Structure 1
Amino acid sequence: MARPREFDHDQVVSAAAELFLHSGYEGTSMRDLIARTGLSSSSIYAAFGGKRGLYLAALKHAATDERTQVAAAIEGPGGVVGGLRVLYAHLIDRLLSGADKSISLSARAALETSEDDPDVMAHLKVHVDDLVGLLSTRLSEAQAGGELRLRQEPRDLALFLLLSAFNLTYAYKLTQDKDSLTAFGEAALSALQSA
């Protein structure tokens, strides 16, 4: 008879996601995962199939967190532009804190993963499509409600704004200057015209 799991699945996956965000997939060893999660290697293999399985679970976990964060920002009291401005500022502060080398695990995975990795690429495509759909719907609502006048299709703008957020990681590598990063974010937001 198999022993029941004696660990909090979400807590382990969350801890692994933080480690993968900080160190990347290749930079994270099984020893690192054991130390961070408190699980033995045999438990990691039994529960997730190994490092790769835990990485895929961490990507899914991080995607859920990222979606929640984006939804909260664009549904907030500052409207869609104000919410995106706050979200960009949060991402910039996160980069400048030096704690992470990317704004999100998904962004880091996109930078580090070869197109030859169908599992990760499929995850990223679904995640980006989900975020673009979420943001596109909110932009359409803002336009219908008179909050914005859009010159491009909401879906095209949503993809542009999302990829601009992802590109903050590249911009950070070139300049660790908050004013420059903020200007980058403002330039992206200038694609949205207030009514």
Structure 2
Amino acid sequence: DRAGSSAFPHQFLYKLLVNGTLKEHYQIDPADSWMYAAAERNLPMFVPGWEDSTLGNMYAAHCITGAIRNVHTVRSGVEYMMHLAEWYLKSAAAHSIGFFQIGGGIAGDFPICVVPMLSQDLRKEQVPLWGYFCQIGDSTTSYGSYSGAVPNEKITWGKLGIDTPKFIIESDATIVAPLIFAYVLGW
């Protein structure tokens, strides 16, 4: 705030993890942390709706009291979508991009919407669809549901193609996602 700069929420967390500011408070070995692994690699992360959280409430309170003078110190969800669109266009031009959704609601709907936003709202031509789709969640499957919509519904919305490989893992994401991350990272 005092420096006049702004960053996304995950960028603040990455900085805290990588520079060791919180090291004395770690509750697990950093080698076992997926967030620490992401920070070390500076992986792109898109976190919609962070404002709808305890952290968001605390941030708003500090802005109200004046402890934080510039509300834009933490970049907004709209800026996340703009950043995601830029990343997607650049990355999808080089290779197919898959979509790995953890949970439901805004966490899944926000980022997958970048494709129809680019093709329908911005009217960009030949925007590649997501190369694959995998969702981990425990929501009850339901047509028209925000969290429980089956992948085929995403075809009509312009998010996936008919031939896009689609997978659903119906389980608790807090258990399954770390297992998948551990496998991918070779832990």
Q: TM-score interval w.r.t. the shorter chain? A: 0.3 to 0.5
Q: Structure 2 length normalisation: TM-score?
A: 0.37
Specify which structure has the higher proportion of strand.
2
Q: Structure 1 length normalisation: TM-score?
A: 0.36
